[in-house]
Amino acid sequence: MNKPIGIFDSGLGGLTVLKVLAKKFPEESFCYLGDIARLPYGNKSPETIRRYGLQILKFLKEQNVKAMIIACNSASTVFLGENEFEGIPLLNVIEPGSAAAIAASVDHKIGVLGTSATVRSHAYRDTLLKMAPEAQVIEQACPLLVPLVEEGMVNDPITELVARRYLQQMIEQQVSTIILGCTHYPVIRNDLKKVLGDKVSLVESGDVLAQKLATLFDQGVLARQSGNRQIRVCITDLTDHFERLAHQLMHPEPIGQLERVVL
């Protein structure tokens, strides 16, 4: 029987991950859960984020998923080192993102951009240092970037100005690679590139998860699906704004009507 891959995020930012995976694996079905009703997670405590996360993993299990991906960086920090949930493979974005950043940078001068919760947890820094003890890691919380993306301020001088402030220290320290440690940041990759120039590589969760999933398929850990694919986007609150934003973020990948669910 065909089973979907479950993906969860605090809101719609994780659609940046779903979009990459849907394109890379055109046969696979996906079930996405965006916890819009309780967004943002980035300013909440680890205990609260974990409580929300466990409810969502239970929801995804009920949808009969074959694997679960925590696309939300803030949520990934509280499930670090956990590779399964009740027998179902569980992936987070921190470990594959860190490995990709180390592979991408020769000098291992790595910057991490994230929400306050992600930066406060030091999950990326600790994982990077475990993988490459000589790495130099600079972390920066960027709380203003999520609302700017939610308001659609993409390729916008205000976003560029805010990004410039947040990136200043990393530019001074000449980092060579930056992990976009938040689901929303790939949407403003051009604004970030304008500030950083072309020499700094950006690591995005969608790409690293696509590689990780490809390995799991090749190793036979996950069975490939063939046949009619289905992409479900479920959210815990629904407004016209979110409906529009979801279609914009997934464009040109078609998604059906968003489903409102109660956890």
- Which residues have a catalytic role annotated? 72, 182
Which 206-225 positions form the footprint of ligand DGL (CB under 6 A)? none
Contact 195, 178 (CB under 8 A): no
91 contacts ligand DGL (rule: CB under 6 A): no
Minimum distance of ligand DGL from residue 102's CB (angstroms) = 20
Return the range that interacts with ligand DGL (CB under 6 A); candidates 20-28, 69-77, 153-161, 162-170.
69-77
d(Cα 91, Cα 210) in Å, to the nearest integer? 11
Q: Would you say 93 or 110 has its CB closer to ligand DGL?
A: 93
d(Cα 256, Cα 17) in Å, to the nearest integer? 17
Contact 95, 69 (CB under 8 A): no
Which of helix, strand or coil describes residue 137? strand
72 contacts ligand DGL (rule: CB under 6 A): yes
Q: Which of 7, 19, 70, 74 binds ligand DGL (CB under 6 A)?
A: 74
9 contacts ligand DGL (rule: CB under 6 A): yes
7 contacts ligand DGL (rule: CB under 6 A): no
How many other CB atoms are there within 10 angstroms of residue 183's CB atom?
A: 32
Q: Would you say 75 or 258 has its CB closer to ligand DGL?
A: 75
Q: Would you say 41 or 166 has its CB closer to ligand DGL?
A: 41
CA dihedral angle for residue 81, residue 69, residue 112, residue 126, rounded to 10 degrees:
0
135-174 footprint of ligand DGL as x/- string (CB under 6 A): -----------x----------------------------
d(Cα 93, Cα 206) in Å, to the nearest integer? 9
Q: Would you say 19 or 108 has its CB closer to ligand DGL?
A: 19
13 contacts ligand DGL (rule: CB under 6 A): yes
Which 175-194 positions form the footprint of ligand DGL (CB under 6 A)? 182-184
CA distances from 22 to 16, 77, 168 (A): 10, 24, 35
d(Cα 127, Cα 165) in Å, to the nearest integer? 26
d(Cα 24, Cα 95) in Å, to the nearest integer? 20
Q: Given the rule CB under 6 A, which residues bind ligand DGL?
A: 9-11, 13, 39-42, 72-74, 115, 118, 146, 182-184
